[in-house]
Amino acid sequence: MKKLTFSLIVLISLHVKAQKYLTTFEKSMGSETTNYFSCINFYKKLAADFTNIKITTFGLTDAGYPLHLVLFNNKKSFDPLLWQKNKTLIILINNGIHAGEPDGIDASMLFIRDAATGKIKIPNNVVLAVIPIYNIGGSLNRNSFSRVNQDGPLAYGFRGNAQNLNLNRDFTKADTKNTRAFTEIFHYLNPDIFIDNHVSDGADYQHTVTLITTQPSKLGGTIGNYLHDVFEPTLFKDMADKNLPMTPYVNFEESNIEDGWEAFYDSPRFSTGYAALFKTIAFMPELHMLKPFKQRVLSNYELMKTIINEGSKQAAAIKQKRKESIDAVSKQQQFALNFTLDSSRFDTITFMGYAAEKKKSEVTGMNRLFYNHDKPFTKQVKFYNYYTEDKLVTKPKAYIIPQGWYNAIDLLKMNKVAMQQLQKDTLIEVEVYRIGSFKTRTTSYEKHYPHYNVQVSRSKQKIQFLKGDYIIYTGKNTDRYLVEMLEPTGADSYFAWNFFDACLEQKEGYSDYRWEDVAATYLKQHPELKQRLEDKKKSDPAFAASSSQQLNFVYKNSPYYEPEHMRYPVYRLN
């Protein structure tokens, strides 16, 4: 009798606590999402009432509000160094990077509340770290129309942040205060698993939950193999057992499903691609936009629960494989600057879709695509998720960066790249890149005009470096990040994102009439250049017909031409 009475008291207590911490989502019967201020106040209330929750801040965002981090630990310890020492699995959950996709925001509130009140049990070997709302500026820019493809909630935030930038394209260039605060959080925690909650766009199908997983070949090392062979399959199985069959992110809108589809390529500009640079397993849940908001939030909740529970069961293996992979980076000599899809390899997955058909548009009168819900299907399809390394580069003994390029230097420091400064002016022989050809986007992309298809030449030169310039020795576990950011041919390198564009600008020149006389004297003194000029005129009719091209040829092959022009200002010490 006493035992029954005690159990009843516990149940009543849990019910009272749950009522005290009802969310906007619950109060609205699943039709509304929280706003920024209600969300933060909710977590502050939980932190005040439960000693296993802590809320803290990491810098300001572009909107002028701080980025909050909510920590949950059953052992009531909030020191990441102790977590690492005790081999605790650290899971970082990010929400609202696109504030119009709020499913994870509400699901995380429910999850942390339920963990605190005892409704669900978080394993003792797991620590949760939750960013309640990452894109605060977008969250404050509330509307009911910008996500026209999406079924609810009634109102939501906007995709762009306070600078109107897409934060999920900012992890390399870090133009925003949001990203810089996130970078601080990421390295403070050094998470084993990262979850970045989203809502999809694109095709219509039966699945509620789709998932982008960092490509195992890009994650690399033993952790990449473990992710593909062991960890990820258990997530799909567990979700299917919950009657929530999951599919990899559907990376098409109109396609012949018989051909299958390619995995989303998450380069380092994206959150999951950035996490892979540090051997963190990363997932990007994409809840299907056409499913009702309530269904999406509860499904997101279940997916996080699955990842956490399976992460707990496999914590020892994940921690060990990740450590092996991180340690291997410091010894690794060659790094890929790009990854190419291997179209000869694929996995076979179960896809539950709807027949894609055509019918007459009521708007244009022409044929339009529609998905016929009266014709659902389940098929085995090909999923191409294998990538091979491309553009391999051997890391140098060290990189040297003149101190004037502090924007790049500051980002390297922020990402925990160790460096030191020269103590005196020093002449050093280094390997020099000269930018040959490249292409540049003709329209703005996230406040930049990125370069691509970059071609370089190499040479050895003696360069005079100044006291205070930075030398960065390799042989560290940050080498992959360092190489991918500093090698100019990298797809998401600092050069690609315009950090070094000033080296593309010629600062000095000449007046033709003055250079004519100086060039004539120089050619008399250097007959070998005179011969090269004559040879080029014979082989190139357009060159032979242009006096300006000929003058420029002589100029650029003389000491009067500035050596800094097109010389990439990051040097390799081999």
How does pLDDT run across 280-331, given as a tens digit for each residue?
A: 999 999 999 999 999 999 999 999 999 999 999 999 999 999 999 999 999 9
- Beta strand 281-287 with 193-196: parallel, antiparallel or unpaired? parallel
Half-sphere exposure of 193 (CA within 13 A, CB side): 31
Residue 241 has pLDDT above 80, yes or no: yes
Spatial neighbors of 449 by CB under 8 A, at least 6 apart, are 440, 441, 442, 443, 498
Candidate from 249-263, 328-342, 503-517 with smallest mean pLDDT: 249-263
Tokens linked to 293: 């908001």
Answer whether 0.75 is exceeded by the pTM: yes
Give the per-residue pLDDT at 259: 84
Residue 2 has pLDDT above 60, yes or no: no
* pLDDT single digits (tens) 145-194: 999 999 999 999 999 999 999 999 999 999 999 999 999 999 999 999 99
Query: For residue 264, how far is the Cα from the chain centroid?
Result: 12
pLDDT band at 9 (very low <50, low <70, confident <90, very high): low
pLDDT band at 95 (very low <50, low <70, confident <90, very high): very high
Residue 258 has pLDDT above 90, yes or no: no
* pLDDT single digits (tens) 541-570: 999 999 999 999 999 999 999 999 999 999
* pLDDT single digits (tens) 197-208: 999 999 999 999
DSSP secondary structure letters along 198-264 = EE--S--BS-SEEEEE--HHHH-HHHHHHIIIIIHHHHHHHHHHTT---EE----SS--GGG-EEPP
CB neighbour class for 358 (10 Å; exposed up to 12, middle 13-18, buried from 19): exposed
pLDDT band at 398 (very low <50, low <70, confident <90, very high): very high
CB-CB contact of 174 with 411 (8 Å): yes
Tokens linked to 464: 């005079």
Tokens linked to 120: 């669900």
